[in-house]
Amino acid sequence: MAASISGYTFSSVCYHSANSNSDHEGFLLGEVRQEESFSISDAQISNTEFLQVVEIHNHEPCAQLFSFYDYAGKVSEVNLNKILKDRRKNVIGWYRFRRNTQQQMSFREQIIHKQLTQILGVPDLVFLLFSFISTANNSTHALEYVLFRPNKRYNQRVSLSIPNLGNTSQQEYKVSSVPNTSLNYAKVIKEQGAEFFDKDGVMKDIRTIFQVYSALQEKVQAVCGEVEQSERVKEKIQDEVNRLKQEIALRKRKSAEEERRLQELEAAETVESSASVLENSDSSVTSRIGFRSATLERMGLERPGTSDMPPLYSDVVGRDSTTVLGSKANVVFLPRPQAVGSPGHPHPLSLPLGDGSSLDSLDRRAAGQEDEEDEDEEEESNDCENLENELSLSPGDVTLPPSQGRPASLRPDGDSHSTPSS
């Protein structure tokens, strides 16, 4: 149980008591509430604590001793009601002040307390005992107070706190939950409140600030929409750029293959013509020329513009990209740049594009985009990877060990090492 008393109630009780030339008693008014605190810790053991909080808001002093009980300590309910009137339901305890006595409930106080508990119907009625202890020469007087919970075992004592009594520079100033029952306060607020409060009782400044807040929220929402749209446009353009890059790569690969085939054919013809030169050196030239011409003509169907000039970009773009996809067998395996910590396994890469495209798209794909992309798109993305490495590699290189060239991923302990190939 925790208990608190408002500063003004405490000082009022002390004032009444100090000015009394004998023992003094009265009733405590306030409220009792239950607080439930639920704490969760790392151990995942939940803890629920119930705390009964007693708040003393006010007091009702008795004009004299024995005003509601007789010599034997028997409480008179009639006299009690005369003192409390309509505040009886707010009674949560009673208090007594006696000078120079022990901080212990007396015989009569215990008898009265038991009866008050029953009559008032407050099972946990508290008793506050004040005492002035003075030294023999009256030079020092100490005000002592103890809050008892007599209905509990061993006459439990409860610590009583007074909010904001202390060093408030180091503590948070607490707002009291005591309801303000002052008539004068209510009157002043009613008269002067129109300048500060609106018709709903809310402070005007608060409403203004709230309006500013709302306006800012709207603007932010609008900007969010614009950002979203621009992001979508950007995505579309990026997709198109990627597609075009892939087509370029395919065309280049195809042209490279055709050149190689052509070279092979030429090499084979050269050998045959050498052999026939020994038998008929005159006719071989013509046939060679013819063969070459025939070869070239044959090659012309597949390779328009058979000159040493590289094909036009427009020609390359116009080609059907699907014909390029079949050439998986000649794909070169190159190490794929890895983000730190990402799992490393090699993917088939296309020949270097040499166009300096960024790795942004690669990162996006490396982040684990789902299988909603179809297989074709995935292969196309793989072809675009490791552009920087491709610039330094020749097309005819065979598969490199995946560990080479891959940036080292760091172990959790900070040491770097090359991740093994999967």
- Structural contact between residues 8 and 1, judged by C-beta atoms closer than 8 angstroms: no
Q: Does 153 bind other proteins (CB under 8 A)?
A: no
Q: Which residue do the tokens 């052509």 mark?
A: 262
Nearer to other proteins, 21 or 314 (CB): 21
Chain centre distance of CA 62: 57
What CA–CA distance (Å, rounded) separates 58 from 12? 9
Q: How far apart are CA 271 and CA 50, in angstroms?
A: 101
Is 265 near other proteins (CB under 8 A)?
no
What would the DSSP string read from start to end of 231-263? Answer: HHHHHHHHHHHHHHHHHHHHHHHHHHHHHHHHH
- Is-contact 173 44, C-beta < 8 A? no
What are φ and ψ of residue 183, in 5° steps?
A: -70, -40
x/- letters, 7..26, toward other proteins (CB under 8 A): -----------x--xxx---
Can residue 38 be called a binding residue for other proteins (CB under 8 A)? no
- 93 vs 150, which CB is nearer to other proteins? 150
Among 11, 47, 81, 102, binds other proteins (CB under 8 A): 102
270 binds other proteins (CB under 8 A): no
Residue 74 touching other proteins (CB under 8 A): yes
Count of alpha carbons within 13 Å of 66, Cβ hemisphere only? Answer: 5
x/- mask, other proteins, residues 109-148, rule CB under 8 A, reads xxx----------------------x---x--x-------
Q: Which position among 100, 181, 184, 358 is part of the footprint of other proteins (CB under 8 A)?
A: 100
Residue 330 lies near other proteins (rule: CB under 8 A) = no
In order of 7, 126, 172, 269, the CA distances from 10 in angstroms are 5, 15, 20, 117
Residue 81 or 134: the one with the smaller Cβ distance to other proteins is: 134
Q: Which is nearer to other proteins, 74 or 411 (CB)?
A: 74
Pick 73 or 405: Cβ nearer other proteins? 73
Residue 61 sits in the site that holds other proteins (CB under 8 A) = no
Whichever of 73 and 348 has its CB closer to other proteins, that residue is 73
Rounded to a whole number of angstroms, the minimum distance from the CB of residue 82 to other proteins is 20
Amino acid identity for residue 329 in this structure: A
Residue from 79, 117, 155, 287 binding other proteins (CB under 8 A): 155
**Encoding tokens for residue 339?**
């983000």
Distances (CA, A) of 255 to 7, 249, 306, 308, 324: 94, 10, 11, 12, 10
Q: Which residue, 101 or 418, has its beta carbon nearer to other proteins?
A: 101
Strand-pair category, 332-333 with 348-349: antiparallel
Residues that bind other proteins (CB under 8 A): 18, 21-23, 64-66, 71-74, 98-102, 104-111, 134, 138, 141, 155
